[in-house]
Structure 1
Amino acid sequence: MTKHDPKDYSWLPADVLAFIAKTDAAYPPDAVNFTIAEQRAFYDKMCAAFAPPHPEGLRAQDLSLNGVPCRRYTPTAPREGVTVLYFHGGGFVVGGLHSHDSICAELAEGAQATLISVDYRLVPEHKHPAAYDDCIAVAEAVAGPKILVGDSAGANLAASVAATRDDIVGQVLIYGGFGRDLSLPSFTRHAFAPGLTLADIEFYADLRYAKGRPEHDVTSVPMDAEDFSVYPPTALFSAECDPLASESVEFAARLAEAGVPVTFTEEPGLIHGYLRARTMADGARRSFENITTALRDMVTKASDQ
């Protein structure tokens, strides 16, 4: 077997392979074949296995904003004048405040920004646009300029919110899905990638909508935007071995063509969900540092204005 075999990822770095093995031990690669309750239990177990303690001095408080459960992270020296909103990944089906708790804590402390994690409603119990509506409700409840951060499904939500509000001053989007074109190269090249497969993506998409995906809806497909210049400065991060990778490439190109300040980084040798690998894989740790730096730069610029 060679590196070009679409089902062989044995060429990945040893620390990434160890991350995959630890992930698979808690969250089966065929988890979509289990019940929703079982998938959520698997996901919670997996996330707990990759959850280091909060940075010393950081404070976390649960609260409700416009009826949406949230968790606010206050770092040791928060910059004033801007708030970060975090939308978690999980295919719109799994995850919550608990799943991304340590990620949010470290980002808040690293960027020295007050960060609010949003516990939006999940499918299949709450179809689109419930998750988007919850994210908008929190954005409305938080005064002043905001920077959005999201991974995977959360990156999709962040971009949709950014397209429909004028008080978003930046966004950091991590291995997200932004369009509807499954002919893009990565969907074929990495259809069987560890961490997320094309079949997984199709499963989540089928669950998200009550009557099928709408033909044109920027609240669910950010690249449906008629005018990409509405987007704020953006930092995009993708994983090389991810069926969604090409969507970040395409989204970055659209933003650049519209004159939006944008940076794009494709992380070599990493897979979807690599934020959890930051404590055990060198590439993931470096990427998390780059993500934190991108967020800190946005926070600094916003707070100085």
Structure 2
Amino acid sequence: MNYERLIDEETWAFIRKTGECYPDDAVDLSIEEQRKVYDAMAAEFRAARPDAVTCEDRTAEGVPIRIYTAGEPGYTVMFCHGGGFVVGGLESHDDVCAEICAQTGYRVVAVDYRLAPEHKHPAAFEDAWTVCEWLQHSYEGDIVLVGDSAGANLCAAVAHYARGRTSRIVGQVLIYGAFGGDINAGSYLEHAHAPMLTRDDILFYGDIRRPEGQGTDPDPTMAPLSDTDFSGLPATVLVSADCDPVRDDSRDYRDKILEAGGKAHWINEPGLVHGYLRARHSVGRARDSFERISVAVEALGQGVWPYD
């Protein structure tokens, strides 16, 4: 794969800066050390919160959350962060949440779900669902699910599980999510050695999250693409990076929803790589994509579908 041709210089600068945040022996670090390095890397890219945004740390039935507000919001975003279910937290995506809040005017509630390997599946899903239920009891108005990478997986899992349990989830915006697609086909092979995320990384994170002795039965709370029923899901916008092994999961998830008669739209961003949300202030393509993401969040909250 000719990434020198596909990826522009701005994005390469972002890739290099990310790489410089990791020590040469990063692969040998303990999980706790990996988390510290990841958090330090996220801090290197963190932007200041917009002045209009205020935030408050709380717990939702024992799950730590951070609530962002700007004015008097009528809708709520539940945000689940990426990090392979192993790293990340309230700080790693703080500025992303604050900017979504500022750009949409919606309340954003970030979920600090439990991480693997200390807490294997379904711990992260259970925390996300707990917060989703808490939101319904705590606030009026509809809910939009938003997440990147592992967080996109969690949001989709919540959307599947929520059917028949609530009608308050009106949309989901899923950013470069891994939904349990075929790791031996398509983009998983085409971009097996992509910058920022490789196929081997995906296998590692999948193994570390999976409980010992787990069978092969489909589990949509872990791999939403393994579900047999894609009807009744909220309006869904999927955003992927073209140079990313998990790219095709977004396409396939869209197709499943459309086949079931639902609303789904896939935006594949040329020349971008996994994790590009952190590049939104330095890379033109990432900045434009983040604008599309914010527009999607705002539209879905208001019941608008601008993709026909």
Q: Residue 241 of structure 1 contacts residue 269 of structure 1 at CA under 8 Å; is this kept in 2?
A: yes
Does structure 1 residue 98 correspond to structure 2 residue 59?
no
Paired AA for residue 26 in structure 1: C
Compared CA separation, residues 226 and 29, structure 1 to 2 (3 A): farther
Q: Residue 170 of structure 2 contacts residue 301 of structure 2 at CA under 8 Å; is this kept in 1?
A: no
Equivalent in 144, 164, 175 of residue 161 of structure 2: 164
Q: CA deviation at 1:170?
A: 0.5
- Describe the superposition over 1:223-282 as per-residue Cα deviations: whole angstroms up to 9, x where unpaired: 122210131100000001000001111111111111111111000000000000001000
Q: Residue 173 of structure 1 contacts residue 236 of structure 1 at CA under 8 Å; is this kept in 2?
A: yes
Paired AA for residue 185 in structure 1: G
Equivalent in 65, 70, 86 of residue 79 of structure 2: 86
Count of aligned pairs between the two proteins: 295
Compared CA separation, residues 41 and 291, structure 1 to 2 (3 A): same
In 1, the alpha carbon distance for the partners of 2:130 and 2:175 equals 22
Show structure 1 runs of 5+ residues with no match: none
Structure-1 residue corresponding to 2:184:
183
What TM-score does the superposition give when structure 2 sets the normalisation length? 0.92
What TM-score does the superposition give when structure 1 sets the normalisation length? 0.93
Q: CA deviation at 1:21?
A: 0.6
- Describe the superposition over 1:104-140 as per-residue Cα deviations: whole angstroms up to 9, x where unpaired: 0000111110010000000000010000000011111
In 2, the alpha carbon distance for the partners of 1:36 and 1:294 equals 35
Map 1:37-56 to 2 at 5 A.
37-56=32-51
Q: Kindly, what percent of the aligned residue pairs are identical?
A: 46
In 1, the alpha carbon distance for the partners of 2:291 and 2:22 equals 26
Q: Residue 73 of structure 1 contacts residue 115 of structure 1 at CA under 8 Å; is this kept in 2?
A: yes
In 2, the alpha carbon distance for the partners of 1:116 and 1:96 equals 12
Does structure 1 residue 147 correspond to structure 2 residue 144?
yes
Compared CA separation, residues 56 and 272, structure 1 to 2 (3 A): same
Q: CA deviation at 1:29?
A: 8.3
SS of structure 1 residue aligned to 2:65: strand
Show structure 2 runs of 5+ residues with no match: none
In 1, the alpha carbon distance for the partners of 2:187 and 2:232 equals 27
Q: 4+ residue runs of structure 1 moved beyond 6 angstroms?
A: none
Structure-1 residue corresponding to 2:210:
209
Q: Residue 85 of structure 1 contacts residue 116 of structure 1 at CA under 8 Å; is this kept in 2?
A: yes
Equivalent in 232, 237, 240 of residue 238 of structure 1: 240
Instruction: Compare 152-161 and 49-58 and name the one that shifted more.
Output: 49-58
SS of structure 1 residue aligned to 2:302: helix
Compared CA separation, residues 291 and 212, structure 1 to 2 (3 A): farther
- Describe the superposition over 1:174-211 as per-residue Cα deviations: whole angstroms up to 9, x where unpaired: 00011241133101111011110000000000100122
In 2, the alpha carbon distance for the partners of 1:45 and 1:120 equals 19
In 1, the alpha carbon distance for the partners of 2:193 and 2:28 equals 16
Compared CA separation, residues 214 and 72, structure 1 to 2 (3 A): farther
Compared CA separation, residues 212 and 283, structure 1 to 2 (3 A): farther
> Considering only aligned residues, what root-mean-square deviation do their CA atoms show, in Å?
1.6
Q: CA deviation at 1:299?
A: 1.8
